[in-house]
Structure 1
Amino acid sequence: MTEIDVLVLGGGPAGTWAALKAAATGASVTLADKGFCGSSGATAAAGTGIWYVRPEAELREKAMASREALGGYLADREWMTRVLDETFDRVNELAEAGRYPFPVSPDGTSLRTGVQGPEYMKRQRLRVQRAGVTILDHSPALELLRTADGAVAGARLHRLADGTRVDIAARAVVLATGGCAFLSKTLGCNVNTGDGALMAVEAGAELSGMEFSNAYAIAPEFTSVTKTAYYGFATFYLGNGEVLRGASSKGGRSVIARTLLSEPVFCTLDQADEAQRRAMRVGQPNFFLTFDRLGIDPFTDRFPITLLLEGTVRGTGGVRVAGADCSTGVPGLYVAGDVATRELICGGFTGGGSHNAAWAMSSGSWAGAGAARYALRQGNSAGDRKRFGAGEIGLRPTGQIDAGLSHGEIVAAVQREVLPYEKNYLRHGDRLRPALAALDDVWFAAREGLAHAGADPSKVRSAAAMTAHARWMYTAALARTESRGMARREEFPDQDPAQHHRLLTGGLDEIWTAPEPVFLAGTELVSA
């Protein structure tokens, strides 16, 4: 089996930056994407802001302070500074080496605080190819490969084109597979089913911030477009034409969620002036496509809205980062982008597209370079190591296979517990506990009898990953008996100073949680 230096799993922003920075060291690099690198995933589907701030003390201070309170003071200033520095450099690299056509202001200043996703990712794919990276499209990873000493040393892929399995031996692996949106139909997120987090935990990694996983985005009822910034210009209405009070204020999404439990909610973007309307159409052209096709003017007409779960794609929870190079504590395994926790820069409140885009650039760059350094230290003898599949549920049933248990049934069962607003968004222990019990039943039934005979094994594993994610996030939500950041509990509406800590989560059959003081929470900036 030929061994490469670095295998990157995932072809979005984090994965492509990881591949670029790994290849820049001289390492041999392969990137495998569940979809088509450059066009799949949340970023490729739309425009996004970027947390790009000029290196001026006042501007940087304002940028870091802006979300600290919202995030429950769980973020880390040293990590925020690092991300701001790295993002500034990487965006400038994108403009110069990547020749990205950033817009220019009337005074000639290049405006670099956002990108159009399709153009950005098209250029990233081209850059990765020119760097000599091998790209394997439509090749989802089923499981990581481990050695006898517990190091991660490659992955087993499923090639969708012909249904074959391919083992890729690598000295280091970067997981950049994205978060988990539970197949909720949110824009660009059908590939985001949490596969990377499941593989990481199977290999021995820990999670952090899984209680901050209940991000819901406003979307027109007739589309999957979840670009929520424009709703800052909205007025929300009940079906009888009355203004929905409180929907446009802080916490307004909760008001919308409660109302949607019993009746429709409508919206008009009538607070935007003419100049803002023109700018909105330029900034997010795909936001308006369906409106235009249906003959709806969203600035004057009322249209029905819904809320779509974005989970850990827009939330902040994910695999715990153990080092400055985004290592995980498992030898040979690195994480980047939404599969990794973003608490270090956002705390317990979503950073939206802007912070997530900056994190993808920064963590991807660090993880790729860190994985390459680790790989090159291993030497040629590493290729002789025996490798074993680390995957469990959906690949190696523990009991008699249940021929009647399908991945589709697993997905439907998980969605019944995580999509409803009254369970996941408007959280209360009396609803969380029975939901978690139902998810436990799904997990153990799948653990014992779910197999992929006659089915796409990648879909089976995605169903397993969604089940794992749901159990991790509800276990963590029950453990945080307060309201901090996005983790709101109706029976514990206040913030508890005694719970000013991050919350680690781990395990598969038996899930555990443990508090981790913020000042000790993996922020030692030491490269593995």
Structure 2
Amino acid sequence: MNARSPRSPVTRAPSPTVVRDDADHLEIITGVLVIGGGPAATWAALNAARTSAGEGLGVTLVDKGYCGASGVAATSGVGHWLTPPGSPLRDETFRIKNATGGGQSDRVWVDAVLDETWAQISTLPAMGWDRVDRNRRQPSLDLTTDNPSGAPYFRGPAPDYLRFLRGQVKKAGVTVLDHSPAVELLVTDNRDAVVGARGLQVRAGRNWTVHAHAVVLATGGTTWRSHSLGGDTNTGDGQLMAAEAGADLAAMEYSNFQGMVPFGTSMDKNGYFIKAEYWTGDGTPIHYDDLHYSRVPLLEHSVKGTVYARFSQFAPAQRATARENMPNFFAVVDKLGINPFTERFPIDWVHEGTVRGTGGVRVDDTTCAVGLPGLYAAGDVAARDRITGAATGAGGPNLSWAVASGSWAGTHAARFAASRSGSPLTGRPGTASSASSPRGIRRHAAGLGSIATTSVGHGDGRTPDWRELTGRIRAQMLPLTNAVFRSEDRLASMLGELDRVWDLLRDASPRSPVDEYRLREVAGMAAMGRWATLSALERRESRAMHFRVDHPQTDPEATYRLLVSGVHRPRVHRQPSGKTRVGVPA
């Protein structure tokens, strides 16, 4: 694998049909629509294009930012879980994640993700990936054990990886619309299938509509605009759209992960903090057991005053390598004039929400189908508790989940689109229009948005200030006293305020496409906050990142999974523990 592999021939999906393209509106008909622009979205688009090419169906990707350069992954490194099928390393990998995650991981799901990630990453050399790890002067990807580390690896800066994936997406014939956030899904007029989405092209100042036979949501998690590095575009848009289409969410109580940063920055790179030394402001050492299991001891001190850290775990001979492995972190501390190896420096916390947490849309099998027919979910928009339980997946597991779920979702979305394209569009009884024709797929599409959209009427005629509402949500979700140190009274108070914000959104009347886009972002954050808070109320124990001051012990009987359903009147119910099958349903 070290030698450059010959490139595989590029199979291009056909171009979508452009129905309208003027100053006011862009309208497209496509086979598969992917909403998002990070690793899950690009792997979904690639696999959809590969599957669609032989079916004569186009693939379109729309991203709120610039595909391949926005979101949390763009600020990271390339650190997938990489273990080949049958590797003995898997036993240890699962043991560690299951232990830190409160015993809620599923070995069958972990194996499925590792298998699919291995298969997908193995295609990179044939696509032309030949990067060299400049620090080590070795190939950045080696899937053999014939290397100094003795294990497969994939190293390098994520921006280069994502830029490469964007290029592959374009080569595969995918139409990419950047700076084009989606505001709502489109469904058939009797609401029995998803048939596309609509949104806003921000820079062009015009609306877009994409009619599609299948849609993949890969919009990421949410950080409630905490200013987590790269996370402020993650506002729960996809989760809200999925719930409006009837999907459940799972593990939403595990949505409060706190990242560690040098004080006054957003550089939330947690790896080197795990084994650092810590002190209170007066120089008293802070003792902890294992930050993989719980950060509560440090967080308790942070509520009382500033905590100081030092990376004492690195011997002088190891420091140059440590700097090379995390250059963006050291660019920040160097600018601050801090030597983190020898000096104590103040730290702070940043809420990483469901990006580092595990809550999201419930996915039951490797089709990644959710809600109404024709809808699929991939990456951080989907729940990852089957993989890492109640603890953060961190970089490797989360990135592997993005690759695996993206490839599954894109493949099955394209297969579903192919099965639908030659049949009459499901819609009004008696309709005979072909779903593959512009007239057929457009004729009976209706907006599914249930709040803060022009599709739900005019409310009371007012447009609330989205910035003010965002501030009110942040005031509930971000403070450590609310996010980490949970209690019945505190959670009930948070839920009450979030419900009041929700009521204002239900009465909202967007006056412009930009108002609608911004208010839908707020609605996504409010919905995610309500689901997370309601789930945290229901789990009356402490487990991994979920800590209840009024129930500080882990209940060995509470191995159930919490599911939350509904948009306007959410409700929580328990899914009994037990391993679920992973494969494609018959």
Query: TM-score scaled to structure 2, two decimals?
Result: 0.86
1:450: Cα distance to partner?
5.3
The one-letter code sitting in structure 2 at the alignment partner of 1:7 is L
Q: Alpha carbons of 1:72 and 1:271: their partners in 2 closer, same or farther (altered >3 Å)?
A: closer
The one-letter code sitting in structure 1 at the alignment partner of 2:445 is R
Q: Map 1:387-466 onto structure 2 (within 5 A).
A: 387-395=445-453, 396=456, 399-403=459-463, 405-449=464-508, 451-453=510-512, 455-466=514-525
Q: 2:58 aligns with which of 28, 31, 35?
A: 28
- Partner of 2:69, secondary structure, is coil
1:518: Cα distance to partner?
3.1
Contact kept? 2:185, 2:197, Cα under 8 Å = yes
- Partner of 2:537, secondary structure, is helix
Q: Map 1:315-326 onto structure 2 (within 5 A).
A: 315-326=357-368
Contact kept? 1:47, 1:117, Cα under 8 Å = yes
Which digits, 9 at most, give the CA deviation of each residue in 1:290-322, with x for residues without a partner?
211232211112221111001100011101113
Overall identity of the aligned pairs, in %: 41
Aligned length in residues: 526
Contact kept? 2:365, 2:585, Cα under 8 Å = yes
Contact kept? 2:308, 2:346, Cα under 8 Å = yes
Match status 1:81 vs 2:139: no
Match status 1:134 vs 2:167: no
Distance 1:437 1:39 in 2: 37
CA RMSD of aligned residues (A): 2.0
The one-letter code sitting in structure 2 at the alignment partner of 1:402 is R
Contact kept? 1:235, 1:248, Cα under 8 Å = no
The one-letter code sitting in structure 1 at the alignment partner of 2:170 is Q
Q: Alpha carbons of 1:109 and 1:255: their partners in 2 closer, same or farther (altered >3 Å)?
A: closer
Q: Alpha carbons of 1:473 and 1:137: their partners in 2 closer, same or farther (altered >3 Å)?
A: same
1:349: Cα distance to partner?
1.5
Structure 2, unmatched stretches of 5+, are: 1-18, 20-27, 140-146, 423-433
- Partner of 1:322, secondary structure, is coil
The aligned counterpart of 2:425 is none
Match status 1:347 vs 2:347: no
Contact kept? 2:486, 2:548, Cα under 8 Å = yes
The aligned counterpart of 1:361 is 403
Further displaced range: 110-119 or 205-214: 110-119
1:211: Cα distance to partner?
0.7
The one-letter code sitting in structure 2 at the alignment partner of 1:513 is V
Q: Alpha carbons of 1:397 and 1:239: their partners in 2 closer, same or farther (altered >3 Å)?
A: farther
Q: 2:379 aligns with which of 337, 345, 354?
A: 337
The aligned counterpart of 2:217 is 175
Match status 1:242 vs 2:284: yes
1:247: Cα distance to partner?
8.0
Distance 2:131 2:59 in 1: 28
Distance 1:279 1:244 in 2: 27
Distance 2:291 2:404 in 1: 33
Contact kept? 2:366, 2:405, Cα under 8 Å = no
Further displaced range: 464-473 or 220-229: 220-229
Q: Alpha carbons of 1:397 and 1:416: their partners in 2 closer, same or farther (altered >3 Å)?
A: farther
Distance 1:335 1:421 in 2: 30
Contact kept? 1:436, 1:475, Cα under 8 Å = yes
Distance 1:417 1:100 in 2: 47
1:513: Cα distance to partner?
0.9
Which digits, 9 at most, give the CA deviation of each residue in 1:468-515, with x for residues without a partner?
000000001111112223222122222224321111101111111111
Distance 1:324 1:91 in 2: 18
1:114: Cα distance to partner?
4.0
The aligned counterpart of 2:123 is 93
The aligned counterpart of 1:253 is 295
Distance 2:416 2:38 in 1: 23
Q: Alpha carbons of 1:302 and 1:96: their partners in 2 closer, same or farther (altered >3 Å)?
A: farther
Distance 1:155 1:203 in 2: 12
Structure 1, unmatched stretches of 5+, are: none
The one-letter code sitting in structure 1 at the alignment partner of 2:403 is M
Contact kept? 1:100, 1:120, Cα under 8 Å = no
Contact kept? 2:83, 2:152, Cα under 8 Å = no
Distance 1:362 1:178 in 2: 15
Distance 1:358 1:114 in 2: 14
The aligned counterpart of 1:65 is 95
The aligned counterpart of 1:471 is 530
The aligned counterpart of 1:118 is 159
Contact kept? 1:397, 1:447, Cα under 8 Å = no
Distance 1:156 1:411 in 2: 23
The aligned counterpart of 1:143 is 184
Distance 2:290 2:556 in 1: 29
Further displaced range: 77-86 or 104-113: 104-113
Which digits, 9 at most, give the CA deviation of each residue in 1:233-276, with x for residues without a partner?
42112222222233875656212222222211111112212343
Contact kept? 2:98, 2:104, Cα under 8 Å = yes
Q: Map 1:266-281 onto structure 2 (within 5 A).
A: 266-281=308-323
Further displaced range: 134-143 or 57-66: 57-66
Q: Alpha carbons of 1:74 and 1:110: their partners in 2 closer, same or farther (altered >3 Å)?
A: closer
The aligned counterpart of 2:40 is 14
Contact kept? 1:177, 1:196, Cα under 8 Å = yes
The one-letter code sitting in structure 1 at the alignment partner of 2:536 is A
Q: Alpha carbons of 1:260 and 1:48: their partners in 2 closer, same or farther (altered >3 Å)?
A: farther
1:348: Cα distance to partner?
1.8
Q: Alpha carbons of 1:398 and 1:247: their partners in 2 closer, same or farther (altered >3 Å)?
A: farther
1:451: Cα distance to partner?
2.7
Distance 2:130 2:35 in 1: 24
Larger Cα Rg: Structure 1 or Structure 2? 2
1:90: Cα distance to partner?
1.8
Distance 2:132 2:564 in 1: 40
1:57: Cα distance to partner?
3.8
Match status 1:46 vs 2:76: yes
Q: Alpha carbons of 1:456 and 1:449: their partners in 2 closer, same or farther (altered >3 Å)?
A: closer
Q: Alpha carbons of 1:452 and 1:201: their partners in 2 closer, same or farther (altered >3 Å)?
A: farther
The aligned counterpart of 2:549 is 490
The one-letter code sitting in structure 1 at the alignment partner of 2:560 is H
- Partner of 1:24, secondary structure, is helix
Contact kept? 1:219, 1:308, Cα under 8 Å = yes
- Partner of 1:306, secondary structure, is strand
Q: Alpha carbons of 1:57 and 1:520: their partners in 2 closer, same or farther (altered >3 Å)?
A: closer
1:453: Cα distance to partner?
3.7
Contact kept? 1:476, 1:513, Cα under 8 Å = yes
The aligned counterpart of 1:506 is 565
Distance 2:386 2:113 in 1: 10
Further displaced range: 378-387 or 38-47: 378-387
The aligned counterpart of 2:194 is 152
Contact kept? 1:98, 1:123, Cα under 8 Å = no
Match status 1:215 vs 2:274: no
